[in-house]
């Protein structure tokens, strides 16, 4: 094999490897939306029907609240002593998140949620 063929083969392998890295590179964004993450510990005497009504109430609240883009309602895993549910709401931006706190839809949802909530923690995240 000539030096030229060996050099050409090596360069081709390097280019192919480099192209593979570029194609496989993870792409991600840093949106300005706000994630509102809630973990809940239900009161011991709350029923499964009450709990489901509160969780499904998040979806109704989102439908009635301008600025809520997405919701996540199915708990896969929750950390914290005796916490048993989690849900997330994504707001369009900080302004929509601020407006949500005093919205009629939020107030109506709290009537279902607060009587059965023992304790909750919230985490609000944005870029």
Which CATH number fits the domain that encloses residue 66?
Answer: 3.30.70.100
The region of weakest confidence among 8-17, 46-55, 66-75 is: 8-17
Q: What is the pLDDT of residues 22-36, one digit of tens each?
A: 677 788 899 999 999
DSSP 29: -
Residue 52: domain span: 34-125
The whole-number average pLDDT for the span 49-71 is 96
Let me know if residue 70 belongs to a domain.
yes
> Is the confidence at residue 18, as pLDDT, over 70?
no
> Is the confidence at residue 110, as pLDDT, over 70?
yes
Interacting residues of 21 by C-beta distance below 8 A, sequence separation 6+? none
Q: What is the pLDDT of residue 19?
A: 59
Let me know if residue 112 belongs to a domain.
yes
The total number of structural domains in the chain stands at 1
Global pTM reads 0.78
- CB count within 10 Å of CB 80 equals 13
Q: Which residue has the higher pLDDT, 97 or 4?
A: 97
Q: How far apart are CA 110 and CA 101, in angstroms?
A: 10
Interacting residues of 84 by C-beta distance below 8 A, sequence separation 6+? 40, 41, 42, 75, 78
């Amino acid at each position: 094999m000539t030096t030229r063929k060996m050099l050409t083969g090596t360069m081709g392998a390097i280019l192919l490897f480099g192209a593979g890295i570029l194609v496989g590179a993870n792409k991600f964004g840093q949106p300005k939306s706000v994630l509102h993450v809630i973990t809940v510990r239900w009161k011991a005497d709350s029923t499964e029907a009450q709990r489901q009504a509160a969780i499904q109430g998040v979806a109704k609240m989102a439908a009635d609240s301008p600025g809520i883009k997405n919701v996540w309602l199915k708990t896969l895993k929750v950390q914290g002593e005796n916490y048993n549910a989690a849900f997330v709401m994504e707001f369009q931006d900080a302004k929509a998140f601020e407006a949500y706190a005093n919205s009629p839809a939020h107030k109506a949802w709290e009537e279902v949620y607060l009587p059965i909530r023992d304790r909750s923690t919230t985490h609000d995240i944005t870029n």
